[in-house]
Structure 1
Amino acid sequence: MPTVLLVEDDPNLGLLVQEYLTMKGYQTDRATDGNKGLELFMAGEYDLCLFDVMMPKKDGFTLAKEVRMGNRDVPIIFLTAKSMKEDTIQGFKAGADDYITKPFSMEELLLRIQAILRRYQRTADIVEQTTYQIGSLSFDYPHQLLSRRAESGADVPPQKLTSKESELLKLLAQNLNQPVSRSFALKMVWGDDSYFNARSMDVYVTKLRKYLREDPNVQLVNVHGEGFKLIV
């Protein structure tokens, strides 16, 4: 049964879409604002997301960008009352796969969902990425190893990472040269963005910086007001 995350602040439309998709065989979870939507996304696994654009607390564009930090592949469809060209462009820049303007028929929404899921099923890489190249450094996520080759070509003993170091480095490597917000990293790796977890993350960031110094072309920098960025 395909799983769908629906984030729509209109309770009537949200319930209607949820009931229709459930009737058509889609397990559908629903949230009424962007913050709750992100919490559901990080707690579950979804085959497709339906995001309203204009929502309280966090709009659909922002939600999509944060979802893309944790999962670059999950398809996203925007539901919106807006039809201006600029909004459509902004939606696709935020990571949308499709864009449907309200009011819409349930049949049209279902056909778009089916088309996108078929396309993703054909093109999805069934092997999850497990190794990441960070400059001259190679990160083996399953074995939690960060390694490099000496200039002479000889192998250098790899650095063994802890589970938290590996999870954090994976998130940064998936968003190479892109900012990752502190709050998002904390929720993805630690489960919540409490003060004590934030202090713990700062310690792990310092450790990762030490390991990454092996390549002078690699930097883990603070981005004021946003979070961190792994730069090559």
Structure 2
Amino acid sequence: MANPTKILLAEDEAALGQIIKESLETRDFEVLLCEDGEKAFKTYKSESPELLVLDVMMPKKDGFTLAKDIRKIDDTIPIIFLTAKSQTQDVVEGFTIGGNDYLKKPFSMEELIVRIHNLIGRAKLQKTAEIIALGDFTFDFPKQLLSYKTEAPIQLTHREAHLLFHLIKNKNAVLDRSLILNKLWGTDDFFSARSMDVFISKLRKKLKQDESIQILNVRGFGYKLTD
């Protein structure tokens, strides 16, 4: 029998944290529950979890700061934020600093479990994917590295790498906006759409050295990568 996926859960509401922990354990996950960001960071370094579920508002070290510290060590571990915040800039900030998904409180456990399974599946896909040629670039999807000719490679974030991977796989065809939002963000709501626009802009800047590569906005449908 395979070892259970180890999840680090950082949640300062004791009752909610215990409910989430017990619910995930009934689905055969191993859950490490921490009540503040500092303890969570120590647990991350000592226990090597495979996925993080982080509350944004926590004592000692908030979820965004914790994610930034972890991203300095690990660019690939999936991160889900739990947040009571609803401002667009807060959601976008969470994705920008390296979050892979978010859930607004209150949320259903079934939704959290689905999103966890989606992120684990993407992580497995990344490990088995190939190195891809794109114009004058080489894209190493498993390592999330984008290289231009002989220049030093650029390290992409987890979400940038997966978005670029799907754009390349659908090269010269329209990548449906709603489908990719649901696949990578878990929802196609306004906040996720704004976040994806930010990531598309970042990818355009990183690919600008090869002028033949374009990410076109097909209004009302999605995006199309051409080279």
TM-score band w.r.t. shorter chain: 0.5 to 0.7
- 1:93 Cα deviation from its structure 2 partner: 1.4
> Secondary structure at 1:56's aligned position in 2?
coil
The answer for unaligned runs of 5 or more in structure 1 is 130-135, 139-173, 175-232
Equivalent position of 1:200 in the other structure: none
Q: Could you tell me whether the CA contact under 8 Å between 1:6 and 1:14 is conserved in 2?
A: yes
Return 5+ residue gaps in structure 2 as ranges.
130-141, 144-149, 156-227
Name the aligned partner's letter for residue 82 of structure 1: K
1:15 aligned to which of 14, 18, 26: 18
* Residue number among 45, 53, 67 corresponding to 1:64 in the alignment: 67
Q: Hey, which bits of structure 1, 4+ residues long, moved more than 6 A?
A: none
Task: Give 1:11 shift.
Answer: 0.3
SS of match in other structure, 2:52: strand
Match of 1:110 among 105, 110, 113: 113
Query: Partners in 2 of 1:123 and 1:100 — Cα distance?
Result: 23
The amino acid across from 2:32 in the alignment is D
1:92 corresponds to which residue? 95
The answer to whether the Cα contact below 8 Å between 1:62 and 1:94 also exists between their aligned partners in 2 is no
Shift, 1:19, TM fit: 0.5
What does 1:101-140 align with in structure 2 at a 5 Å threshold? 101-124=104-127
Q: Deviations over 1:3-31 (max 9, x none)?
A: 10000000000000000001100000010
Residue of structure 2 aligned with 1:25, choices 19, 24, 28: 28
1:50 aligns with 2:49: no
CA distance in structure 1 between the partners assigned to 2:69 and 2:96 by the alignment? 13
Question: Could you report, residue by residue, the CA deviation over 1:11-63 in whole angstroms, capped at 9, with x for unpaired residues?
Answer: 00000000000110000001000000000000011110000000111110000
Aligned residues: 135
Q: Equivalent of 1:73, from 48, 72, 76?
A: 76
SS in structure 1 of the partner of residue 76 of structure 2? coil
Distance between the aligned counterparts of 1:84 and 1:124, measured in 2? 34
Question: 2: distance between equivalents of 1:93 and 1:115?
Answer: 20
User: Normalising to structure 1: TM-score of the pair?
Assistant: 0.54
Q: Which moved more, 1:74-83 or 1:116-125?
A: 116-125
**Which residue identity lines up with residue 103 of structure 1 in the other structure?**
P
Matched residue SS, 1:124? helix
The structure having more radius of gyration, on CA atoms, is 1
- Give me the CA root mean square deviation: 2.5
Task: After TM superposition, give the deviation of residue 102 of structure 1 in Å.
Answer: 0.3
Structure 1: how far apart are the matches of 2:14 and 2:124? 31
Q: Which amino acid aligns with 2:103?
A: I
CA drift at 1:124: 2.5
Deviation (angstroms), 1:120: 1.1
In structure 1, the residue corresponding to 2:72 is in which secondary structure? helix
Q: How does 1:115-194 map to 2 (within 5 A)?
A: 115-124=118-127
